[in-house]
Structure 1
Amino acid sequence: MLTGSCTCGGVAYEVDGTIEGIAHCHCETCRKTHGAAFSSIAAAPRDRFRWTRGEDLLRAYETSLGKLRRFCSRCGSQLVAERVGQPNLMLRLGCLDTPVTAERQWHIWRSDGASWYDPAEVHPEFPEGLSQR
């Protein structure tokens, strides 16, 4: 079972299933709508997905023909994207509450990638924020 929720906690969902693979999308639309270098996503079967809280808070924005991004109208968190009639939704993994691992991961739309981020470069990591020196 997977669970997810928005930043304010007003919207939540469940999925009966597991994450098979994770895509890190660098397309311009994902970068702009998330305000980040990329968006991490995973497919979830529509027939195993359900909203458990706050469905009345959901709004949708069509970013390309037939593709809807669903977000919380209170805090703005993007939770899922979907193409009407398709068997899978795309979970926005930043809103996932369940810890997951996936051996299959890939970066897509690198042709649109942010000029200031390259996933091939290794940078220092810190368990918390930057220390003040």
Structure 2
Amino acid sequence: MYEGSCLCRSIRYEISQEPGEFGYCHCVSCRKASGSSHAANAPVQRENFHLRSGTETLKEFESSPGMFRAFCTNCGSPIYAFRSGHPELLGIRLGSLDTSFTKRAREHRYVAEKAPWEEIEDHLPQYPGPHTP
């Protein structure tokens, strides 16, 4: 069981599965949504995501056609994202987890869109766009 929350703790959730393999996404949308150089998102099945509080402050926004991002309307913390073609699969924003998570990233995606001031200094594989194993 994993627990997570937003910065103001209005939104609290639990995940009843181990989050899947993840990578760092450097696309412009993820950079803007995270306010950072990239986002760390791990997949979980929607049925295993349990919102415990914050229904009234959780908002889903369609950031591009078919791509939805959920965040807290009080503090702005990103919580998850999903594609309309696969609404059963959520990309949990790992920065919102309160429970320790020790998996390591496996790749960098959308590096063609990375911030020009960011240098990727690890040895993970880098893909200019999406990568699906």
TM superposition score normalised by structure 2? 0.85
Partner of residue 99, structure 1: 100
Hey, what's the Cα distance between the residues in 1 that align with 2:78 and 2:43? 15
Describe the superposition over 1:30-63 as per-residue Cα deviations: whole angstroms up to 9, x where unpaired.
1112111001010011111110111111112111
Hey, what's the Cα distance between the residues in 2 that align with 1:24 and 1:3? 21
Partner of residue 4, structure 2: 4
Partner of residue 50, structure 1: 50
Partner of residue 80, structure 1: 80
Unpaired runs of 5+ in structure 1? 122-133
Structure 1 pair 103–58 and aligned structure 2 pair: CA distance change class (3 A): closer
Partner of residue 33, structure 1: 33
- What SS does the aligned partner of 2:107 have? strand
- What SS does the aligned partner of 2:9 have? coil
Deviation at 1:20, TM superposition (A): 2.8
What is the number of residues matched between the two proteins? 122
Work out which of the two has the higher radius of gyration on C-alpha atoms and give 1 or 2: 1
Deviation at 1:75, TM superposition (A): 0.3
Hey, what's the Cα distance between the residues in 2 that align with 1:33 and 1:89? 15
Partner of residue 109, structure 2: 108
Describe the superposition over 1:2-45 as per-residue Cα deviations: whole angstroms up to 9, x where unpaired.
11100000001111111231211000111112111001010011
- What SS does the aligned partner of 1:117 have? coil
- What SS does the aligned partner of 2:51 have? strand
Unpaired runs of 5+ in structure 2? 123-133
TM superposition score normalised by structure 1? 0.85
Hey, what's the Cα distance between the residues in 2 that align with 1:24 and 1:69? 16
Partner of residue 65, structure 2: 65
